[in-house]
Amino acid sequence: MRSFVSEPMQYGRLFLAGDSAHIVPPTGAKGLNMAVADTGQLFEALLAWYQNDSASELADYTAGCMRRVWRVQEFSNFMTELLHHNPDKTPFEAHLQASRFNQLITSPTASAVVAENYVGIAAKRAGKVMNNG
């Protein structure tokens, strides 16, 4: 279960998107979603470049993606730690895992937070905050 983030998401005039820029464990099922979000943001930046000769969106491409990328990295890490057995865990860590899982299935608030992250609502909000603010 491997994670990776390349920052910045470009090398000179070569822009990275999807798995070339970041990898998440499959537990959160977010890899394709992140790739689509990256390419959408890169499309808008390239459109501004070619239509308006404006490089500002290309210059802001990495910063515009990073809040979403790190939100998804954290969620995928949380889901991996929550759902997968790791034989190297200490008994203390195993009890913490069980406690987190119990909170998730007994707390409507905890369930709502996971559901928002799972379907991407929080990432969409993070993107709007990043792009508008």
Place 124 in a pLDDT band, splitting at 50, 70 and 90: low
For 27, residues 6+ apart whose C-beta sits below 8 A from its C-beta are 1, 76, 79, 80, 83, 84
Farthest CA pair distance, the chain: 59
pLDDT tens-place string over residues 1-53: 789 999 999 999 999 999 999 999 988 789 999 999 999 999 999 999 999 99
Residue 62: count of CB within 10 angstroms of its CB: 18
The confidence score (pLDDT) of residue 72 equals 92
Does pLDDT of 113 surpass 60? yes
Place 132 in a pLDDT band, splitting at 50, 70 and 90: very low
CA distances for 101 relative to 89, 91, 122, angstroms:
16, 15, 20
For 77, residues 6+ apart whose C-beta sits below 8 A from its C-beta are 3, 25
pLDDT tens-place string over residues 44-100: 999 999 999 999 999 999 999 999 999 999 999 999 999 999 999 999 999 999 999
Round to whole Å and give the CA distance between 97 and 91.
10
The confidence score (pLDDT) of residue 27 equals 84
* Mean of the per-residue pLDDT values of the chain: 89
Fold of 4-132: FAD/NAD(P)-binding domain (3.50.50)
| Higher pLDDT, residue 120 or 131 | 120
| Higher pLDDT, residue 123 or 101 | 101
Enumerate the domain spans of the chain: 4-132
* pTM for the structure as a whole: 0.82
